[in-house]
């Protein structure tokens, strides 16, 4: 009879995967992840049948974590600029608070290990954020620009803002504000 799975062990494996991937990239061995989690390598495979399964589940978990943080307190009935500003500030603060998670999510986003179905799931998780971006796109000066291009520009501004906030934490709020102002000018 198989042992029941522990949520604590699963969480420890996921946290260890973030640390290991942050240090060694996606080539981080499962043995290292298991050791960091304080479990036997065989136990890791009780929770995740393969390294790719671990990576796919980690991707979804990190997406959920980021979206939950970004959308916290964002009211759907608030004016669009107010929603954007709060969402942006929340998203940037998440990146500042969890730089390892941000870097690992970025690696997983472009990894061949992440299945198309998992990427689609990540896209669904981003639903509220994508809807907000869609509203800004439809009503903004870039409405004639393809949505995918606008989303890529928003992401590029976000990544640059996060990089500046992390490299210059004393001025993190100033960088956060500069990023949202740049986007506001683009989306008005």
**CATH code (residue 25):** 1.10.10.60
The count of structural domains within the chain is 2
pLDDT, residue 36, reads 95
Confidence of residue 63 (pLDDT cuts 50, 70, 90): very high
Three-class SS state of 142 = coil
Q: How many other CB atoms sit within 10 Å of the CB of residue 83?
A: 20
| Spatial separation of the C-alpha atoms in residues 16 and 11, rounded to whole Å | 8
Whether residues 97 and 172 share a domain: the answer is: yes
pLDDT, residue 1, reads 40
Confidence of residue 53 (pLDDT cuts 50, 70, 90): very high
Q: Which residues contact 167 (CB under 8 A, 6 or more apart)?
A: none
| Spatial separation of the C-alpha atoms in residues 2 and 46, rounded to whole Å | 9
pLDDT, residue 144, reads 84
Give tens-digit pLDDT for 104-159: 999 999 999 999 999 999 999 998 888 878 777 677 777 788 888 888 888 899 99
Residue 72 confidence (pLDDT) above 60: yes
Whether residues 62 and 146 share a domain: the answer is: yes
Whether residues 43 and 56 share a domain: the answer is: no
Whether residues 16 and 42 share a domain: the answer is: yes
pLDDT, residue 188, reads 64
Whether residues 97 and 180 share a domain: the answer is: yes
Q: How many other CB atoms sit within 10 Å of the CB of residue 175?
A: 21
**Most confident option among 5-9, 132-136, 183-187:** 5-9
Whether residues 3 and 56 share a domain: the answer is: no
Confidence of residue 174 (pLDDT cuts 50, 70, 90): very high
E strand segments, the chain: none
78 token code pair: 């608030």
Q: Which CATH number is 155's domain given?
A: 1.10.357.10
pLDDT, residue 148, reads 85
| Spatial separation of the C-alpha atoms in residues 114 and 89, rounded to whole Å | 28
Higher-confidence residue of 2 and 81: namely 81
Whether residues 98 and 35 share a domain: the answer is: no
Domain that residue 21 falls in: 1-49
Q: What is the mean pLDDT of residues 11-21?
A: 97
Whether residues 64 and 45 share a domain: the answer is: no
Give tens-digit pLDDT for 75-102: 989 988 888 899 999 999 999 999 999 9
User: Is the whole model's pTM more than 0.85, yes or no?
Assistant: yes
pLDDT, residue 165, reads 95
């Amino acid at each position: 009879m198989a042992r029941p799975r522990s949520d604590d062990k699963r969480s420890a494996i996921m946290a260890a995967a973030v640390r290991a991937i942050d240090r060694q990239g996606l080539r981080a061995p499962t043995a290292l992840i298991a050791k960091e989690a304080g479990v036997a390598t065989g136990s890791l495979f009780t929770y995740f049948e393969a390294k790719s399964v671990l990576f796919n589940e980690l991707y979804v978990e990190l997406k959920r974590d980021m979206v939950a943080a970004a959308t916290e307190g964002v009211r759907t009935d608030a004016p669009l600029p107010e929603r954007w500003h709060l969402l942006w500030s929340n998203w940037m603060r998440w990146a500042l608070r969890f730089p390892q998670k941000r870097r690992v999510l970025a690696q997983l986003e472009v990894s061949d290990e992440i299945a198309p179905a998992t990427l689609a799931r990540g896209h669904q998780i981003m639903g509220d954020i994508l809807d907000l971006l869609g509203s800004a796109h439809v009503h903004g000066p870039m409405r004639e620009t393809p949505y995918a291009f606008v989303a890529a520009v928003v992401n590029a501004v976000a990544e640059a803002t996060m990089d500046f906030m992390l490299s210059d934490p004393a001025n993190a709020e100033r960088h956060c504000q500069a990023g949202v102002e740049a986007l506001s000018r683009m989306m008005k």
